[in-house]
């Protein structure tokens, strides 16, 4: 059994708290490694190391900092396949999906290598008599990120790449369920030329997160995970004066208008609802057909597709999705399915009984499909985060739009239609942060920003894009006048441009 360590000051260091978490192979159910859960002392050691390393790193010019990211891209490119295997062996997602997880992270690394341009300030010549005015972006110091299990490569890279490009040092606290890839990414950053201490990884649970939240040397916290914890992290970080961006849960709706191309809509729903076993914050978990005919046409196509989903081993290239991440999570998802039945929803496809031959202890389940779901049901109000799709029928477009907007989560929402006017209206009025028009998973590319609305996000700056460069820097504005310019004498009034 392999042991996972922390990564502090450029090397792997063992945990000494005596507390460990299990890492499973989700396909077999076996414990394959143990992850040390950091004590407050271990977190302090990581913060100290980052604090020492950061000033020298900030003094490296942005182009040289960007070159480390460019080298990192090359190194990850070389290891892409082995990283994808490691990722899927701890998470359970298929290897093809794991490759995508890494790739979407690398795209933000590429974007962050534009730091020399993105960090440029503004300059106004002769803003007043002999006065020049300019602004600059300066690093915060030490920033930290807490990441979820479902994208163990992408989300860490979304955080550490812009932070490091900005001249910050970064402490990553990855999910305790799949820390293997984040650790390897930190090693590859060192190999790419990053000085020791600029990127540290501490593994752990709430104790480690609280230690980061309470440490005065940590100036900013980025968090991605469930909403309850996002809200807790946000409140505690803000209370101690830290900058915080905390992204939470989702319940993404896909509205299917009567004029939609139904075959296209069903292809989209199957992939977005069941890909990665539904363990994506941008997964579609609610389909909203508008009108009776759309509902009938959609369900007639959807039911056989859900029944014939191919659940397989992560390494099986023909599998649609693999096992869930842990038995605890599998049980939670199955309990939601039981709850849906109790609440009166119609379970059209029940995948709870699925067993993978030869892997009976693995965390597998098949796809589930509910019809006649209502807005009052908990299976609608709460995030299930598994291969479970709910169909909630709407009488007309306004009712469908109102559902999207009234839900407490507002990560993504999509509309499938041939009507440009309806699509435009939906994009304008739907209360969600990311909208798809005939696109089920509207995850913006690296040079736009990513973030939900309502209880899907706490804080005011999004992930990646230009927002990341705002989040990981503070702005300084300099007003300067040199001796030899115009002499105006002493003034006791507020300077204005009048
Ligand atoms: P989680 O909230 O259980 O864990 C996220 C992180 O918080 C982990 O690193 C974990 O160790 C830490 N943590 C757990 N309990 C804590 C506590 N009591 N105090 C402080 N820290 C704690 O989430 P998860 O199960 O790993 O991930 C799935 C969730 O993440 C889903 O809700 C999903 O929607 C969400 N998610 C959101 C986005 C987004 O951008 N909005 C992206 C991916 C995942």
pLDDT at position 94: 97
Q: How far is the CA of 292 from the centre of ligand 1 (A)?
A: 38
Asked whether the beta carbons of 245 and 222 are under 8 A apart, the reply is yes
pLDDT at position 494: 86
Q: How far is the CA of 147 from the centre of ligand 1 (A)?
A: 6
Query: CA separation (Å) from 425 to 51, 189, 254, 284, 453?
Result: 49, 45, 15, 20, 18
* DSSP calls for 230-288: HHHHHHHHHHTT-EEEEE----EEEEE-TTS-HHHHHHHHHHHHHGGGG--TT-EEEEE
Domain boundaries, the chain: 2-248+456-478, 252-437
Please give the average per-residue pLDDT across 472-497, as a whole number. 85
Q: Which residues line ligand 1 (CB under 6 A)?
A: 146-151, 173, 175-176, 205-206, 209, 224-226, 229, 247-250, 281, 383, 385, 411, 452, 456
Express each pLDDT in 17-26 by its tens digit. 899 999 999 9
Other CB atoms closer than 10 Å to residue 310's CB: what's the count?
10
Q: Which of 166, 246, 281, 368 is catalytic?
A: 281
* CA-atom Rg of the chain in angstroms: 25
* pLDDT score of 422 more than 90: yes
Of 110-114, 259-263, 313-317, 371-375, the poorest mean pLDDT is in 313-317
pLDDT at position 71: 98
Query: CA separation (Å) from 497 to 127, 128, 129?
Result: 9, 8, 10
- Measured from the CA of 329, which atom of ligand 1 is nearest? 25
- CA dihedral over 90, 94, 99, 102, signed as positive or negative: negative
Please give the average per-residue pLDDT across 76-105, as a whole number. 97
Give the CATH fold of the 2-248+456-478 domain: Aldehyde Dehydrogenase; Chain A, domain 1 (3.40.605)
Q: Residue 148: what are its φ and ψ, rounded to 5°?
A: -90, 175
Please give the average per-residue pLDDT across 263-276, as a whole number. 97
**Sheet strands side by side (includes 252-256):** 346-349, 368-371, 388-391, 284-289, 252-256, 412-416, 434-437
- Rounded (10°) CA dihedral 65, 13, 46, 24: 90
For 249-384, list the strands marked E by DSSP: 252-256, 284-289, 346-349, 368-371
Mutate which of 36, 182, 225 for ligand 1? The one with the most ligand atoms within 8 Å of its CB, which is 225
- Measured from the CA of 325, which atom of ligand 1 is nearest? 25
User: What is the chain's percent helix, strand, coil content, to nearest 5?
Assistant: 40, 20, 40
Mean pLDDT of the chain: 96
Please give the average per-residue pLDDT across 274-299, as a whole number. 98
pLDDT at position 223: 98
Asked whether the beta carbons of 129 and 158 are under 8 A apart, the reply is no
pLDDT at position 1: 55
Residue with CA at minimum distance from ligand 1 atom 24: 148
Residue with CA at minimum distance from ligand 1 atom 10: 175
d(CA 340, CA 190): 49
d(CA 54, CA 170): 9
Asked whether the beta carbons of 215 and 44 are under 8 A apart, the reply is yes
d(CA 479, CA 456): 39
pLDDT at position 34: 95
Express each pLDDT in 50-62 by its tens digit. 999 999 999 999 9
Of 191-205, 398-412, 477-491, the poorest mean pLDDT is in 477-491
* pLDDT score of 345 more than 70: yes
User: Is 281 tagged catalytic?
Assistant: yes
Mutate which of 226, 235, 383, 408 for ligand 1? The one with the most ligand atoms within 8 Å of its CB, which is 226
For the chain, how far is it from start to end, CA to CA, in angstroms?
73
Let me know how long the chain is. Answer: 498
Residue with CA at minimum distance from ligand 1 atom 17: 206
pLDDT at position 339: 98
d(CA 314, CA 318): 10
- Measured from the CA of 451, which atom of ligand 1 is nearest? 40
Express each pLDDT in 204-245 by its tens digit. 999 999 999 999 999 999 999 999 999 999 999 999 999 999
* pLDDT score of 72 more than 80: yes
Q: How many CA atoms lie within 13 A of 390 on its CB side?
A: 30
pLDDT at position 493: 87
d(CA 101, CA 418): 31
pLDDT at position 2: 60
Express each pLDDT in 174-190 by its tens digit. 999 999 999 999 999 99
Asked whether the beta carbons of 65 and 57 are under 8 A apart, the reply is yes
pLDDT at position 486: 63
* pLDDT score of 96 more than 90: yes
| Closest by CA position to 378, among listed 390, 386, 366 | 390
pLDDT at position 492: 87
Show the tokens assigned to 498.
């009048």
* pLDDT score of 498 more than 80: no
Residue with CA at minimum distance from ligand 1 atom 16: 206
CATH class belonging to 252-437: alpha beta
Q: Pairing mode, if any, of strands 123-128 and 131-139?
A: antiparallel
Q: How far is the CA of 397 from the centre of ligand 1 (A)?
A: 33
Other CB atoms closer than 10 Å to residue 262's CB: what's the count?
19
Mutate which of 19, 148, 231, 443 for ligand 1? The one with the most ligand atoms within 8 Å of its CB, which is 148
d(CA 263, CA 438): 12
Q: How far is the CA of 376 from the centre of ligand 1 (A)?
A: 25
Q: How far is the CA of 246 from the centre of ligand 1 (A)?
A: 10
Burial class (CB in 10 A: 0-12, 13-18, 19+), 420: exposed
- Measured from the CA of 151, which atom of ligand 1 is nearest? 43
């Amino acid at each position: 059994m392999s042991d996972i360590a922390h990564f502090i000051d450029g090397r792997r260091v063992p945990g000494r708290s005596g507390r460990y978490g299990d890492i499973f192979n989700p396909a077999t159910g076996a414990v394959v490694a143990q992850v040390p859960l950091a004590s407050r002392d271990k977190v302090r050691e990581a913060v100290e190391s980052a604090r020492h390393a950061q000033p020298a790193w900030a003094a490296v010019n942005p182009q040289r900092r960007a070159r480390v990211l460019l080298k990192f891209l090359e190194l990850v490119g070389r290891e892409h396949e082995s990283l994808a295997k490691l990722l899927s062996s701890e998470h359970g997602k298929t290897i093809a999906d794991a490759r995508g997880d890494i790739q979407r992270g690398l795209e933000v690394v590429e974007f962050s290598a534009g730091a020399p341009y993105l960090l440029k300030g503004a300059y106004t010549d002769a803003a007043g008599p002999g006065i020049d005015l300019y602004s600059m972006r300066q690093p915060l110091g030490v920033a930290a990120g807490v990441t979820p299990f479902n994208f163990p490569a992408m989300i860490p890279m979304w955080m550490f790449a812009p932070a490091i490009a900005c001249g910050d040092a970064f402490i990553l606290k990855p999910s305790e369920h799949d820390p293997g890839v984040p650790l390897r990414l930190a090693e590859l950053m060192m190999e790419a030329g990053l000085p020791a201490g600029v990127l540290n990884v501490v593994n752990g649970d709430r104790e480690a997160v609280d230690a980061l939240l309470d440490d005065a040397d940590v100036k900013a916290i980025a968090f991605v995970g469930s909403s309850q914890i996002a809200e807790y992290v946000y409140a505690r970080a803000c209370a101690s004066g830290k900058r915080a961006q905390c992204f939470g849960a989702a319940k993404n709706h896909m509205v299917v208008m009567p004029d939609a191309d139904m075959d296209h809509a069903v292809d989209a729903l199957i992939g977005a609802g069941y890909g990665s076993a539904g363990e994506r914050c941008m997964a579609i978990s609610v389909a909203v057909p508008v009108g009776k005919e759309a509902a009938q046409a959609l369900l007639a196509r959807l039911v056989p597709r859900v029944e014939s989903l191919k659940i397989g081993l992560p390494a099986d290239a023909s599998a649609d999705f693999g096992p869930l991440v842990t038995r605890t999570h599998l049980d939670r998802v199955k309990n939601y399915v039981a709850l849906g039945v109790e609440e009166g929803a119609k379970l059209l496809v029940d995948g709870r009984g699925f067993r993978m031959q030869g892997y009976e202890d693995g965390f597998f389940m098949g796809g589930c499909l509910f019809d006649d779901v209502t807005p009052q049901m908990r299976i609608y109000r709460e995030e299930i985060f598994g291969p479970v799709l709910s169909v909630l029928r709407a009488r007309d477009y306004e009712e469908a739009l109102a559902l999207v907007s009234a839900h407490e989560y507002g990560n993504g929402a999509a509309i499938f239609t041939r009507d440009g006017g309806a699509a435009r209206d939906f994009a304008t009025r739907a209360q969600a942060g990311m909208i798809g028009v005939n696109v089920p998973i509207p995850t913006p590319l690296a040079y736009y920003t990513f973030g939900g609305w309502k209880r899907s996000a706490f804080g005011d700056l999004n992930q990646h894009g230009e927002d990341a460069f705002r989040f990981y820097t503070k702005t300084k504005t300099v007003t300067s006048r040199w001796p030899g310019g115009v002499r105006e004498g002493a003034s006791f009034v507020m300077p204005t441009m009048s």
